[in-house]
Amino acid sequence: MGNKIFKLIAVLFFLVLIGCDQNPFDKLYDPTGDGALGGGWGDWKIYDDQLNTRGGVMLCPSDEHQTFAEVTGNPHSGERCIKYSWDGTKLWDKEKNEPADWTAAVLIVAPTWREYGQEKDLRLGDYTKITFWVRGKLSRNGEIRFEGPGDYKKGKCDFKKLDQLPGDWREYKIDFTGKTDLSRAKEFFKIVFDGGGGTVYVDDITYK
């Protein structure tokens, strides 16, 4: 009788575990879920040899004339880093129905651009900034912006703008000054070429 009760309890415990919406161990590598890593828990590297967000990458305004890849040549740390390039060709902005002189690679919450509306509440991490390492080269008259979550055009996004890129790895940061709404983030990090193309390498993107 005792063995039957023990087996029944074990089965019920197993069913409770598999019936949960989220595996309790998921939070160890998905800091954007319940119990987010951050604040007192520590920093969260959203890119460190791999994308650690469970989300995907979206290229805007289209995926033509630009490339986004992981490469192994001279990363800042580990074995790989992000390489993002645009050849400067103007692309068609379908939303505005006009040519665009910018491109963007966006690390989004959703797994693909088709589910872009998915959101995450990042306030649980008590994050105050994003740090990242970059190197590369911009074309003439080109600029590059690195953005946190939010809408840059509406002034609701914290960002770092550069008119040139360092040839060797250099660390930059985006401070959260109050513009960024972390409660309904659709993207974690954006790389935006504006006015001209170039090639940028990015590594060790960290929420702190």
pLDDT tens column, 73-104: 899 999 999 999 999 998 888 877 888 899 99
Q: What is the pLDDT of residue 1?
A: 52
Does residue 185 contact residue 109 with C-beta atoms inside 8 Å?
Answer: yes
d(CA 39, CA 125): 5
Beta bridge partners, 104, equal 60, 192
Q: What is the pLDDT of residue 31?
A: 42
Among residues 130, 101, 146, the alpha carbon closest in space to that of 38 is found at 130
CA distances (Å), origin 112, targets 69, 116, 134, 165, 186: 16, 7, 25, 29, 12
Above pLDDT 70, what percent of the chain? Answer: 80
The mean of the pLDDT values for the chain is 82
Instruction: Provide mean pLDDT across the span 144-153.
Output: 93
Neighbour order of strands in the sheet with 57-60: 57-60, 102-108, 187-194, 143-151, 156-162
d(CA 1, CA 37): 44
Q: List pLDDT tens digits, range 150-179.
A: 988 888 899 999 999 999 999 999 999 989
* Residue 176: other Cβ atoms inside 10 A: 19
Q: List pLDDT tens digits, range 31-44.
A: 444 334 444 456 89
CATH code (residue 164): 2.60.120.260
Q: List pLDDT tens digits, range 52-73.
A: 999 999 999 988 999 999 999 8
List the Cα angle 26/27/29 in 5-degree steps: 75
d(CA 204, CA 52): 11
Antiparallel, parallel or unpaired: β 143-151 and 44-47: unpaired
Structure token pair of residue 188 = 């974690």
Give every CB contact of residue 66 below 8 A, 6+ residues apart in sequence. Answer: 59, 84, 85, 86, 87, 103, 105, 193
The total number of structural domains that make up the chain? 1
Supply the range of the domain harboring residue 178. 2-207
Q: Is the pTM of this model over 0.75?
A: yes
Q: Identify the DSSP state of 73.
A: S
